[in-house]
Amino acid sequence: MTTLPKKKITLIFGIIIAVIIIVAVSLIAFQGRKLSAVATENEQLKLTNEQLQLANEFQSVNNEFAQYENQTQVMVNDSLTERYAAAKAKVEKLLAELNSEKKKSAKRIKELQDEIATLKGILRHYIAKVDSLSKENQGLRVENEEIKDKNRRLTERVESVSKDNEKLNERMTLAEKLNVTGINLVALKGNGKVEKNITKAKQLKVTFTIPQNNSTPAGEKTIYLRITNPEGDLLGNGGIFHFEGTNVQCTARTTIEYANEEIGGVTIFYDVNTTLNPGEYTVELFADNYRLAARKFTMKK
């Protein structure tokens, strides 16, 4: 058996060791590249997951903001609304860019986080302001209701006082009315004596008394007489007078001077120019747009 020279053996061992080293280095490099690829993939998965989480946060913020959109009418020209819209546009742009990128950028993810944080801060201020305005408006509504209630009570008081004043004015007005008492109707003969048979009467005489009344304005008073026969016809044609917005015809009239003292025996005559029938006659007296009194008298034949 031939023995290899020592130098050859050494060379062969050197070659084997070199090959082993080369293979080992190659394996280590390959494993390193594999580990690097795995680390990169894990990093991308982490960034993608963060992007999804941020997108969900963005949607949540928008949903919360949407609950307050009906309040924007009270926030017209408010800078918070404009700032929110601007920040929202930036977030939407960043999300679109990230969705279009195959390789996610940690820098872009950080920008997205910052913009969403800004958006949340604006939303907090916005909600605080809306709540403040809501409380203020609620206070105003309560105050308005209180004012309305006060106005209603005031209106009721004014109406009550007005009605009381109307009643008082009515009583005062009625108190000023000229009073008459003791009204009487008799038929007269041609010589002025009493005629018991109405069919033979030549005159009708109405007498009455005006009592004292300090509430009645003193001065000249015209008293109008209306006599209605049993058939309901007005006797005589003593002219017209104004009563409750209408011109009314009278039988006769007389004028007195009233000085707030009693006047007795006031007389008004009516000259009969036709035969009168027996039955019920109505005597009415008017003055100063008032109906002073009305009495019925049965005249016999």
Residue ranges of domains in the chain, CATH in brackets: 6-132 (no CATH), 181-299 (2.60.40.10)
Residue 15's pLDDT is 83
Sign (positive or negative) of CA dihedral 156, 162, 163, 165 = positive
The residue ranking higher by pLDDT, 115 or 171, is: 115
The residue ranking higher by pLDDT, 125 or 257, is: 257
Percent of the chain topping pLDDT 70 = 69
Angle, vertex CA 222, rays to CA 217 and CA 223, nearest 5: 105
State the CB neighbour count (10 A cutoff) for residue 139.
10
Residue 227's pLDDT is 97
The residue ranking higher by pLDDT, 216 or 56, is: 216
Mean pLDDT of 129-137: 68
Q: Answer whether 238's CB lies under 8 Å from 286's CB.
A: no
Q: Which value, to the nearest 10 degrees, does the dihedral of the CA atoms of residues 158, 159, 164, 169 take?
A: 90
Read off the tokens for 231.
């058939």
- Closest residue by Cα to residue 44 from 111, 116, 108: 108
Mean pLDDT of 21-26: 77
pLDDT beyond 50 at 173: no
Sign (positive or negative) of CA dihedral 245, 251, 254, 258 = negative
The span from the CA of 28 to the CA of 184, in Å, is 148
Sign (positive or negative) of CA dihedral 188, 193, 194, 197 = negative
Read off the tokens for 124.
């907090």
pTM of the entire predicted model: 0.46
pLDDT beyond 50 at 169: no
Crossing angle for the helix pair 79-100 and 106-176, nearest 10 degrees?
Answer: 150
CA-CA distances (angstroms) from residue 4 to 7, 11, 14, 18, 19? 8, 11, 15, 20, 21
How does the average pLDDT of the chain come out, rounded?
79
Give the residue carrying structure tokens 């006047």.
263
